[in-house]
Structure 1
Amino acid sequence: MPSKSAFPFLLIYMFLAMLGIGLVIPILPDLLKEFGADGKAAGYLVSAFGLTQFLFSPIAGDYSDKYGRKPMIVVGLCLFAISNLVAATAGHFSLLVVARLIGGMGSAALVPSIMAYIVDITTEQQRARAMSFLGASMSSGFIIGPGLGGLLAEFGTRAPFFVSASIGLLAVICCILLLPESQSVEVRLMRLKSKPKRENIFRQLVQSVRSRYFILLLMIFALTFGLTHFEAISPLFVTQSYGFTTREISIMFMVCSLIGTFNQLMLTNRLTQRFGEKPIVSSMLLLSAVSLVFLLFSGNFFYVIIVTMLFFTFNNILRPTINTLLSKEAGDEQGFVAGLNNAYMSLGQIFGPVLAGLLFDIDINLPYLFGAFVLLVSTFVAVKWLRSKNVEINQENKVLNVSK
């Protein structure tokens, strides 16, 4: 068992993976203009990342169980750096899409391996807090990406990619030299010999529908769908509706990310200890839906910042809470379930931006309204699931009391 001093490195690596997703968002208008692409291309470019992440996540999660967490983390960081180098030197729009596809593969290798690594080095009592910090790293990278991309774009539209690639290469070196493997050789050999070959991703998704953790995976999809739905279209929306500049968009994302992450770190553990994970999930889904609708009510810069900050806060609290519940349900299949987690997150990253772009062409308010609708439906599903879980627990308690 490695020292928990590895934990800060895991947070940094997760931050980098999520950073690459949103980095391109604020510079999309400039990139589209540079390559002569239309508005729908923006949604496809953002979604490309999620496509390969979706296809490779369960495979990578299974491999991390068999061959170790560290090798998959190194592979993920290498692909992350390569994707940014390709984007930085792209001379055609199709190469930007290729870069995003490579980045999705890197995230597929990185994210489930980091989640499984944390499960390896924490007890069940420590896991909620550890997942909270991991969720903060994930959400802040996911949200800071657009803000950082906008600020670096002051030095040119390719500057964000060059900086991100440099940081990625440094992270690879640090990972190779400093990160220990969380699983012993004996455990890896045992799993390599005993674990059956997994079904392909599509069969896994079908099988996951009948699993005990399907509703949690569905919530991961809804959460990511709502966030990417918002992020993909937000720069275009506030520019056309309220006249925001690129600098104002960058400031908005940076400020809201920092405050949202701070709120998550301060509130998540306290809320879950007081109310439990399950009630927090349904309430945060509902509040996220409401905040999306409220973004349509005013173009005042400070109003938009406050409502966006609340939206990010609700999302930041929700993600680690769901991850904690998933880790409890996963048993000895932590890497595999983490891979499915990433696959459902990838589906949200695929469909969220694409639908947002299509709806934006119809009416600029539709993306926010539809995103809120998806989150609202998920709230009702979560409430129903909570009730069924409570009934199961009560029945089990009655059986135990009778047996005593």
Structure 2
Amino acid sequence: MSGFPRAHRHPSSDDPSGRKRPPTDDAGEKQVIPREIKVLIAAAFVIAIGFGLVAPILPAFAQSFDVGVTAASVIVSAFALTRLLFAPAGGWLIERMGERPVYIIGLLIVAVSTAACAFAASYWQLLIFRGLGGIGSTMFTVSAMGLIVRLAPPSIRGRVSGAYATAFLLGNIGGPVLGGLLAGFGLRVPFLVYAVALLIASAVVFFQLKDTSLADRRAARKQAPLAVKVALRDSAYRAALVSSFANGWSSFGIRIALVPLFASAVLGAGPEIAGLSLAFFAAGTALALTFSGRLTDTAGRKPLVITGLIINGAAMVALGFSGNVVIFLAICVVGGIGTGLLNPAQQAAVADVIGHERSGGKVLATFQMSSDLGAIFGPIVAGVIIDRLFVGSYDLAFVATGALALVAAAVWLGARETLVRNRGAGTAGEDTEGTSEQQG
């Protein structure tokens, strides 16, 4: 017996349909990560290497077509916009075809569109090609999330989310550095290398998962899919949507679109420092992920989410006032630590709401869409602040980003804890599927 205290549950947190909770599994530390998830983790590493190649040079590549900060930021937002618009259709495709085929097709779409970016002859061509990549991105992202939610043992959901995020972040550590070096051979070269990396990831998933029954969509039909309107009754899911929006604004919008431009315009640094800034963010996140996944399965989802949001928000504010490259890079590490605390916890909380015996494709798509909305609006709002409202005021753009993270932390203060500890079964984390609660 593990000795974990039991978390008492109020009857109102039971499933609206009145179902009993399923039996729990063994203690999290005794569970083994399934092979299929290990394959997805390996693919995530390859994808991240390629993404990291492109991220630091994308704004500069856009500005090579004689556009301003706002237009360069829109290139980043366009990718998130098409992800957002295609998310409902992506969920429908997953129900029709299954997760694995949609995952592979999505990777191939991003590979082709990324290669096309390398041959873009104008800003508008680059915008279209980058936007098309968002369609494939939402396909493989939601597919991977669905498989991980369904395949991860309930008691190690935090650890699985942490392992998946670690692979992605390790790729992001080396990717930006390599991308900055490749930029010396021309801003188009990293796009071609990224396309090749995506083709490799597609092959890995296809050959390693082609014979597994766990990738079959029929395996998720034990229960009716969880509807978004039911999930929204759960305060934890509502809070996760807010924190996902704030994280998308900061990590996928401002970090990629604004931080490299800030390093160049304010600190006078070159593309190498821009690449290093993203790598330092990733390094901080990877550092936090070495313990945040397991801590999420023991201390709970909520404390980690709130702590991560506060740390990341404070770092975003501090970035705007960093006066030299050394302080700038140090703050990047701190911001990354906040993200590393946040991500496994909020993803595990959403997985708790869905459970492993039913499909949650639309619930996951909505969760992903909230992040994409943040990634869309973050760079645009920052660009308007810098180009129109307060010309050159990068500090105000970073303050707005940090304030949003702190608002999300405040929302989580009123949300429920989804991790349930079972003293009798010796379980550090219990499957809480069907626990959507009605809270005003």
- Sort the TM-score into its range (normalised by shorter chain): 0.7 to 0.9
Q: Partners of 2:366 and 2:193 in 1: how far apart?
A: 31
* Structure 2: distance between partners of 1:114 and 1:310: 28
Distance 1:303 1:91 in 2: 38
TM-score w.r.t. structure 1 length? 0.84
Equivalents in 1 of 2:276, 2:79: separation in Å?
A: 24
The answer as to 2:359 corresponding to 1:328 is no
Which of the residues 306, 325, 335 maps onto 2:330?
306
Matches within 5 A, 1:246-395: 246-261=271-286, 263-331=287-355, 332-361=358-387, 362=390, 363-386=393-416
Question: What SS does the corresponding residue of 1:299 show, helix, strand or coil?
Answer: coil
Rounded to whole Å, the distance in 2 between the matches of 1:345 and 1:20 is: 21
Show the counterpart of 1:118.
148
Q: Percent identity?
A: 28
Q: Which amino acid aligns with 1:218?
A: V
Cα 1:34–1:58 change in 2 (3 A) is: same
Task: Encode CA deviations 1:351-388: one digit per residue, 9 max, x unaligned.
Answer: 11111211222222111010011111111111122499
Counterparts of 2:217 and 2:116 in 1: how far apart (Å)?
Answer: 39
Tell me how far apart the structure 1 counterparts of residues 404 and 144 of structure 2 sit (CA, whole Å).
Answer: 28
Show the counterpart of 1:130. Answer: 160
Contact 1:59 1:339 in 2 (8 A): no
Query: Residues 186-226 of structure 1: CA distance to partner in whole angstroms, max 9, x if unpaired?
Result: 8269589x779x9xxxxx6x887555522211211111112
Equivalents in 1 of 2:329, 2:291: separation in Å?
20
- 1:31-56: CA deviation from partner (whole Å, max 9, x where unpaired): 24432222211111000000111112
In 1: Cα distance, 2:139 partner to 2:222 partner: 18
CA distance in 2, matches of 1:288, 1:153: 29
Unaligned runs of 5+ in 2: 1-32, 421-440
Q: 2:266 aligns with which of 223, 234, 241?
A: 241
Measure how far apart 1:65 and its partner are. Answer: 3.9
Q: TM-score, normalised by structure 2?
A: 0.78
Measured on the aligned residues, the alpha-carbon RMSD in Å equals 3.0
Structure 1 gap ranges (5+): 199-203, 391-404
Asked if 1:86 is matched to 2:116, the reply is yes
Is 2:249 the partner of 1:225?
yes
Does the 8 Å contact 2:301/2:349 carry over to 1? yes
Change (3 A) 1:116 1:28: closer
1:151-179 C-alpha deviation (Å, 9 max, x unpaired) = 22111110110101111122222322222
Q: What is aligned with 1:402?
A: none
Q: Which letter maps to 1:351? A: F
CA displacement 1:247-275 (0-9 Å, x = unmatched): 122223224423431x1332203432452
Distance in 2, matches of 1:230 and 1:184, equals 34
Classify 1:185/1:142 alpha carbon distance in 2 versus 1 (closer, same or farther; 3 Å): closer
| Cα gap change, 1:307 to 1:147, in 2 (>3 Å) | same
Structure 2 residue 35 is matched with structure 1 residue 5: yes
Rounded Cα–Cα distance in structure 2 between residues aligned with 1:45 and 1:177: 33
Q: Which moved more, 1:246-255 or 1:360-369?
A: 246-255
Instruction: State how far apart, in whole Å, the 2-side matches of 1:61 and 1:31 are.
Output: 32
Change (3 A) 1:142 1:51: farther
Mapped partners of 2:250, 2:324: distance in 1: 22
Write the distance in 1 (CA, Å) between the matches of 2:419 and 2:277.
39
Q: Is the 8 A contact 1:68 1:182 kept in 2?
A: no
Cα distance between partner residues in 1 of 2:269 and 2:217? 57
Deviation of 1:237 after TM superposition, in Å, equals 1.3
**Partner letter of residue 374 of structure 2?**
G
Larger CA deviation: 273-282 vs 162-171: 273-282
